[in-house]
Amino acid sequence: MILLDGKKVSNDIKDEIASQVKTMTSNGEKTPHLAAILVGTDGASMTYVNAKVKACERIGFNSTLIDLPEDTTEAVLLDKIHNLNDDSDIDGFIVQLPLPKHIDEQKVLKAVNPDKDVDGFHPTNVGRMTLDLPCFLPATPYGILELLERYNVETSGKDVVVMGRSHIVGRPMSILMSQKRKAGNATVTVVHSRTENLSHFTQKADIIVAAIGISEFLTGDMVKDGVVIIDVGITRVPDETKARGYRLAGDVDFESVSKKASYITPVPGGVGPMTIAMLLKNTLLARSMHKS
């Protein structure tokens, strides 16, 4: 069994970007600038956004964090988005999800200028992705493609089961892996909460992308020998033995599944760090787009 070490690969990617930033700035070019909007105080979201800002610092990007209270109105949030759209110093920005219930997520995502939409969530970018046109790919699926590619995991002609149909991970992952591309050309099945006899699909899969948000759901008896496992889940499970009161668990029962897997991502240190690295890559792309 080989661990798909997202931490290491993401550090390699960050080093690659950092050296590109150095070259750019020594040529007198502008430093890439990423902004993030966070609404509320959800612990996990705060952790993710802070990690994104910290990653910017490490590779030499400029970053701006716009921290808004939980009771921020939709109108105020839309106003902040319009400001970022109009600010020529900002190359790309994200609105961290989930948003508080009183805010219409689709309305917010549609307000982001598609040319600054480094999360790839705007309908224009989703449409362009679906049509194989150049666009910002959503960072988590993009990170998974990159991880599979850098470990030379064969995907062409393989049976891939994507567990989950979220707009952020499952849906785009299923589209991307069925496309003619590196880490693509797979035969993809999407399973979800209404799927009957889920094990029937997972037991036949060569590659499983688990993105359902239920901790340790996928167990060893549900997979075949040699399976490749990508675990997108990261749930906080109460654990009194830990100082912070919880442990992080994936969607996969690592203990039993790793005994059968040929490759598997750990949680943490698998998909999570890759998501951040690909967001930075998208921001670099945004900067180069805005040059012309």
Q: Give the residue numbers marked as catalytic.
A: 52, 96, 119
CB of 95 to ligand GUN, least distance (A): 6
Nearest-5° angle of CA 90, CA 93, CA 98? 160
Chain centre distance of CA 51:
13
Residue with the CB atom nearest ligand GUN in the bound state: 97
CB of 44 to ligand GUN, least distance (A): 8
Torsion over CA of 145, 147, 149 and 153, rounded to 10 degrees? Answer: -100
Taking the least distance from each CB to ligand GUN, the nearer of 211 and 227 is: 211
232-257 burial: b if 16+ Cβ within 10 Å, else e: bbbbeeeeeeeeeeeebbbbbbbebb
State how far the Cα of 34 lies from the Cα of 92, in Å rounded to an integer. Answer: 5
CB of 3 to ligand GUN, least distance (A): 23
Sequence-distant (6+) residues with CB within 8 A of 173 are 140, 141, 144, 162, 209, 211
State how far the Cα of 190 lies from the Cα of 164, in Å rounded to an integer. Answer: 7
Q: Where are the alpha helices (DSSP H) in the chain?
A: 6-26, 43-59, 74-86, 105-111, 123-130, 139-150, 170-178, 198-202, 254-257, 271-291
Half-sphere exposure of 85 (CA within 13 A, CB side): 15
Amino acid at 202: T
State how far the Cα of 14 lies from the Cα of 106, in Å rounded to an integer. Answer: 31
CB of 276 to ligand GUN, least distance (A): 9
Which residues sit at the interface with ligand GUN, rule CB under 6 A? 94-97, 119, 139-140, 168, 275
Question: Residue 121 has which token pair?
Answer: 């969530």
Taking the least distance from each CB to ligand GUN, the nearer of 166 and 189 is: 166
CB of 275 to ligand GUN, least distance (A): 6
CB of 9 to ligand GUN, least distance (A): 17
State how far the Cα of 246 lies from the Cα of 268, in Å rounded to an integer. Answer: 13
Taking the least distance from each CB to ligand GUN, the nearer of 140 and 174 is: 140
